[in-house]
Amino acid sequence: MIDFFSETFLTAFIVAVLASAIPLLLASIGETVGEQSGVLNIGMEGLMLVGGYFGFVGTLVSGSFWVGFLSGAAAGIALSMVMMVLCVWLGLNQIVVGIGIGLAGAGVSSVLYDFQFAESKPRLGLDTPWTIPFLSDLPVVGKGLFAQPGMFYVSLIILVLTSIWLYKTTPGLRLRSAGQKPASLDAAGGSVMRTRSLAVLFGGAMSGLGGAYLALISAGTFTPGMTNGVGFLAIVVAMLARGRFTWVLLISIVYGLFVAMGTVLQLTTLNIPNDVVHMMPFVAVMIVLTFFARRSALPPALATAYVRGAR
């Protein structure tokens, strides 16, 4: 029997929560920015998968986790360029292109992985944690929160900076107006194209990072289709949070708790199947959608292309 209140257990629990929460958090930040600018990207799953694959390869080749994260973000940006050109520049159907991006990302990452690593199935080592002096000496939370891989802190910094960008700066105001009433942004002299393009690429970079975090930190390796719906959950988080980044963080942590709790329950005599654990977040989302967020307030111009002068 495991001691559920021992320090090692609680530390491991916090680590497990964060390992599930941070990939979702990163992807949700990207999707939130995209949705606020009026672009619904439902290809998040594919973006995360290419991010995970190229992050994995980058780390494997260079030996540096930072190079891995950068290549993951770059892969996300590269694939989201398709979205930028087709949906923002040409104004094509965002849902159809989004589904295409999801499939392309799943296909490319799976084919390439199978091609290069099907036999060897390499694994990555552990990333050296950034130990924050004094704080990391605290019991339980010290090891759990303040001795995490560097990317954990960078993710939180990204969250804060994105929040400031969107709500305290002029470019952020422009971005939100592109989602609320693109014509007004156009009339005020801003470029809807440029604003939305930037938002789409940022979303690609964030989901790429999220996928890379999942592969490099949470799993330690890449497996085809490893996101298992996290990309779609990111879309839901963005919809429920409606642009409020505190909510993005909270919902991501709740998701992490769900996954970690499931893992803990598996260790007990209850022996809950893996599939039930995997199902729970989706059930929770459906319950929330049914009872609380019946009218999720989405930006009015979401998923509609902006055509200058069109009525």
Partner 1 sequence: MTASTPTLEDAGPETRAIEATRRPQSTKLSQGLEVVIRTITPVVLALVVGGLIIWVMGVNPLDFYGDIFYLGIAGTGWQKTLTAMAPLLIIGLGLIIAFRAQLWNLGYNGAYLIAAAVVAGTAPDILATLPFAVAIVLLFAIAVVIGVVLGFLPAWLKAKYGTNEIITSLMVSFIAISGANILVKGPFQDVEVTVPQTRVLDLNLMLPYIPGTRVHVGFVIAIILVLVFHYILTKSSFGLKVDILGASPKAATHAGLDARKLIITVFLLSSGMIAFAGAIDMLGLWGYMRTNWNPVYGDKVLPFVFLARLNPLGSIPLIAFYAILATGGTIAAQQAGLSVDFLLIIVALILFFMTVIEYLGNRKDLGKSYLPAGLFKSAKKH
Applying CB under 8 A, does 24 fall inside the site for partner 1?
no
Sign, Cα dihedral of 60, 133, 158, 29: positive
CB nearer to partner 1: give 90 or 267. Answer: 90
Applying CB under 8 A, does 234 fall inside the site for partner 1?
no
CB nearer to partner 1: give 14 or 285. Answer: 285
Q: Which two tokens stand for residue 252?
A: 């991501």
Burial class for 208, CB neighbours closer than 10 Å (0-12, 13-18, 19+): buried
For partner 1, the binding residues in 255-284 under the rule CB under 8 A are 273, 275-276, 278-279, 282-283
Residue 152: which of 234, 249, 278 has the closest Cα? 249
Sign, Cα dihedral of 124, 3, 250, 296: positive
Instruction: Identify the residue among 196, 285, 299, 301 touching partner 1 (CB under 8 A).
Output: 285
Write out the H or E segment, with its range, that includes residue 149: strand 147-149
* CB environment 129-152: b (16+ within 10 A), e (fewer): eeeeeeebeeebebbbbbbbbebb
Q: CB under 8 Å to 9, separation ≥6 — which residues?
A: 2, 3
Applying CB under 8 A, does 25 fall inside the site for partner 1?
no
Instruction: Identify the residue among 18, 97, 206, 214 touching partner 1 (CB under 8 A).
Output: 97
Applying CB under 8 A, does 221 fall inside the site for partner 1?
no
Instruction: Identify the residue among 9, 130, 165, 232 touching partner 1 (CB under 8 A).
Output: 232
- Terminal-residue alpha carbon distance, the chain: 67
Applying CB under 8 A, does 308 fall inside the site for partner 1?
no
Applying CB under 8 A, does 307 fall inside the site for partner 1?
no
Applying CB under 8 A, does 293 fall inside the site for partner 1?
yes
Applying CB under 8 A, does 42 fall inside the site for partner 1?
yes
CB nearer to partner 1: give 185 or 305. Answer: 305
The 8-class DSSP code of residue 117 comes to H
Binding site for partner 1 (CB under 8 A): 42, 82, 86, 90-93, 95-97, 99-104, 106-108, 110-111, 113-115, 118, 224, 229, 232, 235-236, 239, 273, 275-276, 278-279, 282-283, 285-286, 289-290, 293-296, 298
